[in-house]
Chain A
Amino acid sequence: MSIYSDKVMDHFMHPRNVGEIDNPDGVGEIGNPVCGDMMTFYIKVKDDKLEDVKFKTFGCGAAIAVSSMVSEMAKGKTIEEARKITPELVAQELEGLPKQKFHCSNLGAQALNKAIDDYEARKISKATSIEVKGGERCCPFCDEEEKQPFCQPCQINVQEKEK
Chain B
Amino acid sequence: MRRVYLDHSATSPVLPEVREAMLPYLEDIFGNPSSLHDWGDPPREAMDKAREQVAGLIGASKPDEVIFTSSGTESNNLAIKGVATAQQTKGKHIIISAIEHFSVMNSVRTLEKSGFQATMIPVDKSGLVDPEDVRNSIRPDTVLVSVMHANGEVGTIEPIQEISKITREKKIIFHTDAVATCGTIPINVKELGVDALSLAGNQFYGPKGSGALWVRRGVRIIPLMDGGIQEGGRRAGTENVPAIVGMGKAAELAAGSIADRLGKITPMRDKLLQELPRKVSHLILTGHPEKRLPGLASFCVEFIEGESMLMLLNSQGIAVSSGSSCTSRALKASHVLIAMGFSHEIAQGSILFTIGIENSSEDMDYVLEVMPPIVQRLREMSPLYSKYIKANKGGQ
Contact = CB atoms under 8 A, between A and B. Distances in A.
Interface stretch (B128-136, B147-155, B262-270, B375-383): B375-383
A119 interface: no
Contacts of A153: none
B331 A58 contact: no
A104 B326 CA distance: 9
A56 B325 contact: no
Interface stretch (B1-9, B118-126, B181-189, B300-308): B300-308
A34 B216 CA distance: 43
B348 A33 contact: yes
A20 B325 contact: no
Contacts of A15: 381
Interface residues of A, number: 28
Given A36-B331, A58-B303, A64 B381 contact: yes
B192 interface: no
Residue in B324, B325, B329, B385 whose Cβ sees the most chain A Cβ within 10 Å: B325
A25 interface: no
B161 interface: no
Interface in B279-307: 303-305, 307
Interface in B361-385: 380-385
A64 B308 contact: yes
User: Is chain A's binding surface mostly helix, strand, loop or mixed?
Assistant: mixed
Interface string A47-65: 0000000001111111110
Nearest to B304: A58
B314 interface: yes
B199 interface: no
Contacts of B344: 33-35
B327 A29 contact: no
A107 B312 CA distance: 22
Residues of B in contact with A, size category: 20 to 34
Interface in B312-329: 314-315, 324-327, 329
Contact of B326 (A1, A40, A56, A105): A105
A36 B348 contact: yes
A60 B308 contact: yes
B80 to A, nearest CB: 28
Contacts of A101: 326
Contacts of A59: 305, 308, 326
Contacts of B273: none
A29 B383 CA distance: 9
Contacts of B311: 1, 12, 61
B386 A20 contact: yes
A155 interface: no
11 contacts: A1-B311, A13-B315, A15-B381, A29-B383, A33-B384, A34-B345, A36-B331, A36-B333, A60-B327, A64-B381, A101-B326
